[in-house]
Amino acid sequence: MSFLTTEGVARSELEKILYLADEFTEVLARPIRIVPALQGKLIANLFFENSTRTRLSFERAARALSADVMTFSAGSSSLSKGESLKDTALTIEAMGVDLMVVRHSSTGAPRRIDQWTSCLVVNAGDGAHQHPTQALLDAFTLRRHFGGIEGLRVAIVGDIRHSRVARSNLFALTALGAQVTLVAPRTLQPVEYQDWPAAVTESLDEELSRTDVVYLLRIQTERGGASVFPSLPEYVSRYGLTRERFARLPKESVVLHPGPMNRGVEIDDEIARHPRALILDQVANGVAVRMAILFRLLGAR
């Protein structure tokens, strides 16, 4: 089974991945940080959209499992020669690839590749739709910090409408028992969310005192996110996590951000460096979580 979305994934399946990630975290703490679990397997990283951390994280995860890795970025591909996505996918499949990690700016592109090829596919982010491995590494980070996710109050703040991170986290975290509130101006809220397992509000200030986790999102300028509020300073005045707002959070609360951060916009520079900001923990945990997902998909084969 490919891993394309967190929507509809059972809690037990999510927990299996988190348990596996615990084990791989131990592996990564050893003097020799590699296991032969996926020796002989070939993984292709297909990044049709720019990415640094996710691409490197997947490469690191695959190598730590002893898999062979091929990485391809859109700029260096034959897409610039007019080759279609389908032909690119079929070409790479023909090289004997077992699993493709796909990032694409269009919603559903990983799903299409899953339909076109017989390879397993892991969605590394498609349009504003889903980024499921991000959601799992966030859940893993919260579980390690708080000891569990059940009952955690999570406020996801910012460009919800254009965010695949928001959609992935919403479904993963609520499946694991968290309560999620989406905080955004009306123009950055999803258009229709009546059947989403979330509360939606415009007011960050009202949420602060009852929040365990503030999850900040970047404004997705590349998806039109910048043209839907009057100006950046006005956005910051309502939704930026300033030092004043941070001070009003419960003392045990933490701050997450999927990166890349825009310091001074959604997050104050000092808050980004605060011990209760788990942003670098998220990056570190990403490797173990992606090892768990790759192993879960390929290990039994």
Partner 1 sequence: MERLLLEGATVLTSRRQSVADVLVVGDRVEDVLTPSGENQEVRAGARAIDLSGLVLGPGLVDLHVHLREPGQEWKEDIASGSRAAAAGGYTAVVAMPNTDPPLDAGYQARYIADRGRQVGLVEVIPAGCITMGMEGKRLSHLDDLLAAGVRIFSDDGLTVTDSGLLRRAMEYVGSRGGVICQHAEDPGLAAGGHLHEGRVSSLLGMTGIPTQAETTVVARDLALAELTGAAYHVQHVSCGETVALIRSARERGVKVTAEVAPHHLVFTESEVLKMDSVAKMYPPLRTEADVKALTQALLEGDIDAVATDHAPHAAHEKDVPFEEAPKGVIGLETAFSAVCSVLGGPALRTVFERMSVAPARIASLERHGNWIEPGIPANLVAVDPNQPWIPQRYRSKSTNSLFTGVPLVGQVRLTIHDGRITYDASRVADPDEEGSP
Nearest one of 169, 175, 176, 121 to 148, comparing CA atoms: 176
- Which one of the listed residues 5, 6, 54, 117 is annotated catalytic? 54
CB of 109 vs partner 1, minimal distance in Å: 4
Instruction: Indicate whether 103 belongs to the interface with partner 1 (CB under 8 A).
Output: no
- Rule CB under 8 A: choose which of 167, 245, 257, 290 binds partner 1: 167
Instruction: Indicate whether 50 belongs to the interface with partner 1 (CB under 8 A).
Output: no
Kind and range of the H or E run holding 26: helix 11-28
Q: Contact, 151 vs 179, CB < 8 A? A: yes
Instruction: Indicate whether 112 belongs to the interface with partner 1 (CB under 8 A).
Output: yes
CB of 291 vs partner 1, minimal distance in Å: 27
| Catalytic residue check, 133 | no
Of 31-39, 59-67, 107-115, 265-273, the window that binds partner 1 (rule: CB under 8 A) is 107-115
| Catalytic residue check, 131 | yes
Q: Contact, 7 vs 174, CB < 8 A? A: no
Instruction: Indicate whether 128 belongs to the interface with partner 1 (CB under 8 A).
Output: yes
Q: For residue 245, what are the CA distances in angstroms to 205, 236, 242?
A: 7, 11, 5
Instruction: Indicate whether 127 belongs to the interface with partner 1 (CB under 8 A).
Output: yes
Type of residue numbered 292: A
Q: Contact, 138 vs 158, CB < 8 A? A: no
> How far is residue 261's CA from residue 122's CA, in Å, rounded to a whole number?
24
- Which one of the listed residues 55, 103, 104, 218 is annotated catalytic? 103
Instruction: Indicate whether 108 belongs to the interface with partner 1 (CB under 8 A).
Output: yes
Sequence-ordered list of residues with C-beta below 8 angstroms from that of 82, at least 6 positions apart, any chain: none
Cβ proximity to partner 1: between 227 and 231 the closer is: 227
Cβ proximity to partner 1: between 128 and 178 the closer is: 128
Sequence-ordered list of residues with C-beta below 8 angstroms from that of 279, at least 6 positions apart, any chain: 255, 256, 257, 259, 261, 272
- Rule CB under 8 A: choose which of 224, 250, 260, 299 binds partner 1: 224
Provide the 10 A C-beta neighbour count for residue 159: 28
Sequence-ordered list of residues with C-beta below 8 angstroms from that of 117, at least 6 positions apart, any chain: 89, 90, 93, 100
| Catalytic residue check, 103 | yes
CB of 163 vs partner 1, minimal distance in Å: 8
- Which one of the listed residues 30, 81, 251, 301 is annotated catalytic? 81
| Catalytic residue check, 167 | no
Instruction: Indicate whether 130 belongs to the interface with partner 1 (CB under 8 A).
Output: yes
Q: Contact, 108 vs 129, CB < 8 A? A: yes
Cβ proximity to partner 1: between 41 and 164 the closer is: 164
x/- map, 7-36, partner 1, by CB under 8 A = x-----------------------------
Both tokens of residue 167? 């959609």
Provide the 10 A C-beta neighbour count for residue 243: 11
DSSP-assigned beta bridge partners for residue 122? 3, 101
Instruction: Indicate whether 192 belongs to the interface with partner 1 (CB under 8 A).
Output: yes
Instruction: Indicate whether 290 belongs to the interface with partner 1 (CB under 8 A).
Output: no
DSSP-assigned beta bridge partners for residue 132? none
Of 127-135, 201-209, 233-241, 262-270, the window that binds partner 1 (rule: CB under 8 A) is 127-135
| Residues lying near partner 1 in the complex (CB under 8 A) | 7, 84-86, 104, 106-109, 111-112, 115-116, 127-130, 161-164, 167, 190-196, 224
